[in-house]
Each structure stands twice: as structure tokens, then as C-alpha cells.
Structure 1
Amino acid sequence: MKNLVSSDDLDRAIINGGSKAKRDVVNFLKKENFTSLPIKRFKFKNIINWPNVFFKASKYLKKEKPEILLLQYPMDFFVLKKFLLTAKKSSDALVIVLVHDIESVRYEHYLKLQDELKIFNAVDGLIVLNSKMNVWLKKHGVVVPMVNLEIWDYDNSNCFSEFSRYKRSICFAGSLDKSVFLNNINLKHKMYVFGTNPRHDYPECIEYMGSYSAEILPAHLNYNFGLVWDGTSVETCDGLMGEYLKINNPHKTSLYLSSGIPVIIWARAALADFVLKNKIGLTINSLSELDEKIDSISELEYENMHQNAVNIGKRMRDGYYIKKAVSQYTPAILRFK
């Protein structure tokens, strides 16, 4: 018996890191008796191919006889619905969905929430990002068992950021065209930003450092803190992305921590509790607090914070969180079946 985990675009090194989380899940779980299931082989070009596509999927599942089928969501919505139906008919596998994002919450008018909830309730269980997402999904009608990932792992072969001196330096990595707050920030300390689509007229405190693939970027991060912030405002994480931050695990958090860099995160973000519990950074309500916050940290306090970040980073580099979630999940599913 083997386990299958869905893969997608595993061979591409994407500049914005969009699919790195999925690639990392596959690579970590391959060490835990999982085999990559290339969903792309079941995609189709036109409606005439649909019956043949799912006949191939059925034949594949009958041949492989998986014990666990772990599907990484989001993926092509139509393919997912049909693939779930095929999986139920063609195998006895426990079907688990790892929820990377809830698309109807993340993007307005993209999908209906009820459509996503139907998918979530049609499987044997979910791995969700954190306890806040867990509570949110239960509140909105998810009834299947859920296990919390806690935080994303991050496959990172670069050296950890070394602690030599507390310089109060800050970095930020992301899609810069979406990071509108950078246009309005006013800091005493320099912020070094990385990503695609930068502006050419940032405030004086911002220094643009270039754009790199998710695999190469950590080698360029040698700063004291990594910032996790979203939206247009410096006073709070506003708008749709600010609301989403309350239930989401931004992947950049794991980029920083897997590099041994403590984080500064919005106090109302879902991951703020994880940051405080593990003493791996600071929480702020507004970016106007940033200078004062980092000035208040002593060199010894920062050194302890840095070591804690390295310890969490070591776990991330080993796939600790996804392995733990999967290992916890099977007994939970069996109890509910």
C-alpha cells in the first residue's frame, strides 16, 4: 500500500514563490511513504476529453491502491470535483485535502464560499493552516475532522542568517505591486525589500534589493527581522487581504524563519499567537510602532529570539509540521469513519 500526494508544476522555480509550498509538501512527504500524484496528467483541453480523462484517473487509482490520497487545494476546481468522485468510486483511500487557501475569501467574486464548503465536506478530512482557520471553517459549516498545520514548512538549503550584531535591520519580501503600504511608510530604520514589480519612487527609508526565486532568495536575506504585513495602510492590515491575514499563514513567514530571521507581524494575524508562543519575533498593531519596538529590544533579547527562530527553522527544513499533521490525521479520520 502506498500514499499519494497531489503535485502541480513541480519542476518550475517560480520567482514569486507561489507554488513552492506545494512543491515542499510533496518533497517532504516523499520521505514518509508518499508518491507524487501529477494532477496535470488528468487535465483536459476540451469537453470531449472528459470521459477519457477520468477513465485514466480511475485506472491509475485502481492500479496504485493508495491508503491515503492527499490533495493540495486550490487546484483546478472542476478537476478536483470530478477527481474526488472518481477516487471514491475507484479506491478505498482516505481522501484528505490540505487547504493552502480559501479562494472565495481570498478573492472576491472568484468562487462561491458554498461551493468550496461542499468540496471540503465531501472528503474524509482536512488539514487546515491554523486554529483560527479551523474555527472559521467550523463556524461556516465544515463538519469533517480537521487537523491544524500550525505553520508552513520551508525547504531551505541555504545557510542560516548568522547573528553577529543587532543592527535593527528589517527586510520585506513579496509581490510588491500588491504591497501598497510600502508607498506610505515612514521609518527611522532602513527597510530592504525584495520582489517583483517594484515602484521607482519609494520613500527614502525603502531600499529595493531585487527579485529572486524562492529557492535562491534566502541566500540574500541577512537582516534582523522579516516583516509580515499586507494591505494599503501603515496603520493596520486593511481590506480583503487584511481580513484574510486573520486566518491565513503567509508563506513569507516561513521564508524568514527557515532562514533564522525573527519576524515582525500584525498583532491580529492568525500567526501572531505562534510567533509570541515560540518567542520568534514581535507583534505590532501599526507600522508606526515599528521603530520604537525594535529600538526597545536589547542585543541579548534579540540573540535569544534569533536562536529560537533558528530552532523553528530547523523544524521547517525537515518538514516537521506537515509530517506531524499527516501522522496525527490518520487516527483522527479512523475514529470518525
Structure 2
Amino acid sequence: MLYFTPSSSSLGFSFASKQTIEDVINFSSEIGFGIVVLGKKVKIPINPINYYLKMIKYWKKADIVLATYPYICRPTKDNFLRIWESNLIEKLNGNKFSILYIADLPIEQSISSRKVVDHKAYEIEERIFKSFYSLLVFNENMKKEIQNNYGIDDERFVEFEILDYGVDFVPLPIKQIKRSYKIIYAGALAKNRCSWIKDLPHSDNFVYEFFGKNGEWINGLNRKDIGYKGFLPPDKLSKYASTDCHFGIIVYDPAFIEYLKYVSTSKFSAYMVAGLPILYSSKYSYLSHLVNEYKVGLPISSFDEIPKIIDNLTEQEYNKIRNNCLKLGEKIRQGYFFKKAVSTDLGSERRDNMKFYLGEKV
């Protein structure tokens, strides 16, 4: 069994993507997969030769293949190379038991970002998806979107529900509550994407702290209750957030509301492993589903509701939500959702279905 992945140090990956790449390497290794890292510190497609020679050499040897999309056959490559790579993967997979872990839908994300999508992108994605026997997807919404686009049968899908997030830090089970509260936001902080920060309400009972790249402009807001703290790597951020903060806030551009029904986010997972209850828009349908299922946060319909929600929250109520976050966060930290989906895929019934699908004798 081999897991194929580009190196997280390859150019062009976001911090969230790098985290996911490293996590899947670790989690797949823990359940018995050998790891084949492609293109170490190489900017693909400028120098793709070693990348593809290594892919061909080891893919041919594997009895079971696992890869993550969109990190395999990356959308940042030009169409010519993606077409070539998707054809290569189709041929290499052949009659192998092959699993594609789908961490994102880049076409739908581009549409949400109001970008023009080349029709070739659909053709390439269809070839990739159909060349793998099993597709691991977040939820029913993602499955249906893929089926609407490409007509893939139900039995080819396994749902994994939540993006796992591996950090070494383990939060303390008990946390002393101090008034005032700290609300944290961690992520990309470019001004054109985070202008909403200036609209956050004032309160004597809480402050906001922001972590990430390109957030220096936040200090220019000249608000004592809002501070930019720079960038921290995941382990250090989890430790700080778990020890010193009380809530994680999740905010996205309204254009992404449609896209967010397909995925949970690395931000959600990062807050869970730190034991932070989340504040989030009730318009985020899949996050709302997860929060309702696991009881790990509080919905808001507007920023103006934040002071009232926090002021009315008792320490007992807060600790109950935090304990739910700790339980879910422990699963996320251990790779529970990824491992469960892959283990389900490797079960005898799924393997027999695959043989039937490929026309082999069972």
C-alpha cells in the first residue's frame, strides 16, 4: 500500500494545504501505507521529470494506491501538463484498488471566487475522479456535486465528515475562565479579504486577537480591543489558543457560502484541537450541521450579536461546550476521520465491490 503526495515544501501551497499534506502523510503511515513523496522542493511544472519518473516507478509496484486531491494533479499546473498527468494516472491505476481523498473542490472554489473556469478543468477533474475506484468526500453535498458533474455511482463514495488536523499539543482538561474573554481568528489576513474586522463590535468583556500572515494593517485600526499577533506555527498556535483564548471565530466572504456546504475547514479543525468553542455564521450550512451534531459552538446571524451571546453565557455552559470541543478535537488530532474512511474502504466488502466493478472474478 502506497500513498502518493507532492512535498509540502513544494512552492505554491498555502499554509493550510501544507498542514493537510503533512497530516495525511502521518496518518496514512500510521495505518500501514508506505509514503512516496513527489517533487521535493521542486516547482512543478518547471522541472517535472523526476516527479513523474518517481510516480511511474512506484505506482506500478503498488497493490493499493492512495492520493489526495487537489494536491495530486494540481490545478496550479498548466492544462497541458494536467491533461498528461491525468492520463498517466488513469493508465497507472488500471485494475488497482485506488483511493482518492478529496480535501477540496477547486472548481467550485474558483466559481465562488468569481473566477472564470476553463471547460478543460472539468474534463481533467472528471478523468482524475473516474480513474480512482473509491472517492473519499466530506459529505453528501460534496458527493452530489461530483455526481451532478460527472455521473459517478453511489457505491464509489465514502464520507469522512471532518478534516483531521495533527498537532502535538494536547489541551488541559480544565481551564480557568477569566472575564474578559479572548476571541481568536487564525488564517490569511490580507486586507482585501478581511475588511470585516473593522466591523467587529466593542465590549468591555472581550478582546480580539488575530494570527496569520499579512495582518500588520490591523494595528492601524487603532482599537485597544483588537490586536495583531503575527504568525505562529500550528503547534504553538494550538498551545497559546488553548491556554489563553476562549473562542475561535470563523468568517468567510459571503460569496463562499455556497462552497462551504461541501467542506468543513482547517480553521474549524484547528479550533477543535485547541478546545476552542467557535463563533460562526448560521449561514454556513455544513459548519452548522457539525456544530449541532457535536455541540461545539454558538451561531451568530450578525457580529452585533456577539456581546449579548457571550455576556449571557455562564461558566458552566462554556465549560460544557469546551468539553465537547476537547472530545472532538482529540479525534481530529489523532486522524480519526481520515483513518476511519480509509479503513472502511479497505474492508473486504469494498474490495469485493471493486473487483465486481472492474469485471474481475471475486
Q: TM-score, normalised by structure 1?
A: 0.85
CA distance in 2, matches of 1:56, 1:24: 22
Shift of 1:83: 4.2
- The equivalent of 2:63 in structure 1 is 66
Cα 1:124/1:209, change in 2 over 3 Å: same
Matches within 5 A, 1:137-286: 137-144=146-153, 145-160=156-171, 162-165=174-177, 167=179, 168-177=181-190, 178-188=193-203, 189-198=206-215, 199=217, 200-202=219-221, 204=223, 205-221=225-241, 222-231=244-253, 238-239=254-255, 241-269=256-284, 270-286=286-302
For the residue of structure 2 that corresponds to 1:140, the secondary structure is helix
Does the Cα contact within 8 Å between 1:131 and 1:150 map onto a contact in 2? no
Shift of 1:44: 5.2
CA distance in 2, matches of 1:87, 1:137: 19
- The equivalent of 2:360 in structure 1 is none
Is 111-120 or 246-255 further displaced after alignment?
Answer: 111-120
Aligned residues: 324
Cα 1:208/1:58, change in 2 over 3 Å: closer
Question: Cα RMSD over matched residues?
Answer: 2.8
CA distance in 1, matches of 2:132, 2:96: 11
Cα 1:328/1:301, change in 2 over 3 Å: same
Shift of 1:203: 6.2
Cα 1:141/1:53, change in 2 over 3 Å: closer
For the residue of structure 1 that corresponds to 2:249, the secondary structure is strand
Residue-by-residue CA offset, 1:240-268 (whole Å, 9 max, x unaligned): x3332232222111111011111122223
- The equivalent of 1:312 in structure 2 is 328
- The equivalent of 2:91 in structure 1 is 89
Q: Which runs of 5+ in 1 are unaligned?
A: 232-237
Query: Which is bigger in relative contact order (C-alpha 8 A, separation at least 6)?
Result: 1
The one-letter amino acid of 1:226's match is G
CA distance in 1, matches of 2:3, 2:274: 29
The one-letter amino acid of 1:99's match is I
For the residue of structure 1 that corresponds to 2:177, the secondary structure is coil
Is 130-139 or 171-180 further displaced after alignment?
Answer: 130-139
Shift of 1:277: 0.9
CA distance in 2, matches of 1:333, 1:289: 50
The one-letter amino acid of 1:174's match is G
Cα 1:57/1:68, change in 2 over 3 Å: closer
- The equivalent of 2:101 in structure 1 is 98
Cα 1:294/1:131, change in 2 over 3 Å: farther
Q: Which runs of 5+ in 2 are unaligned?
A: 358-362
Shift of 1:142: 4.2
For the residue of structure 2 that corresponds to 1:190, the secondary structure is strand
For the residue of structure 2 that corresponds to 1:176, the secondary structure is coil
The one-letter amino acid of 1:187's match is H
Shift of 1:285: 2.2
CA distance in 2, matches of 1:333, 1:191: 50
Residue-by-residue CA offset, 1:37-77 (whole Å, 9 max, x unaligned): 2221695536xx76x86555333323x32323333324424
- The equivalent of 2:29 in structure 1 is 30
CA distance in 2, matches of 1:324, 1:58: 28
Shift of 1:20: 0.3
Greater percentage in helix: 2
Q: TM-score, normalised by structure 2?
A: 0.79
Does the Cα contact within 8 Å between 2:275 and 2:326 map onto a contact in 1? yes
Does the Cα contact within 8 Å between 1:7 and 1:23 map onto a contact in 2? no
The one-letter amino acid of 1:286's match is S
Cα 1:10/1:333, change in 2 over 3 Å: farther
- The equivalent of 1:8 in structure 2 is 7
Percent identical among aligned pairs is: 22
Cα 1:85/1:210, change in 2 over 3 Å: same
The one-letter amino acid of 2:230's match is G
CA distance in 2, matches of 1:282, 1:317: 22
Does the Cα contact within 8 Å between 2:279 and 2:298 map onto a contact in 1? yes
Does the Cα contact within 8 Å between 2:2 and 2:36 map onto a contact in 1? no
- The equivalent of 2:337 in structure 1 is 321
Does the Cα contact within 8 Å between 1:15 and 1:214 map onto a contact in 2? no
- The equivalent of 1:234 in structure 2 is none
Shift of 1:128: 1.5
Is 326-335 or 171-180 further displaced after alignment?
Answer: 326-335
CA distance in 2, matches of 1:65, 1:152: 26
The one-letter amino acid of 1:94's match is F
CA distance in 2, matches of 1:286, 1:333: 48
CA distance in 1, matches of 2:169, 2:52: 41
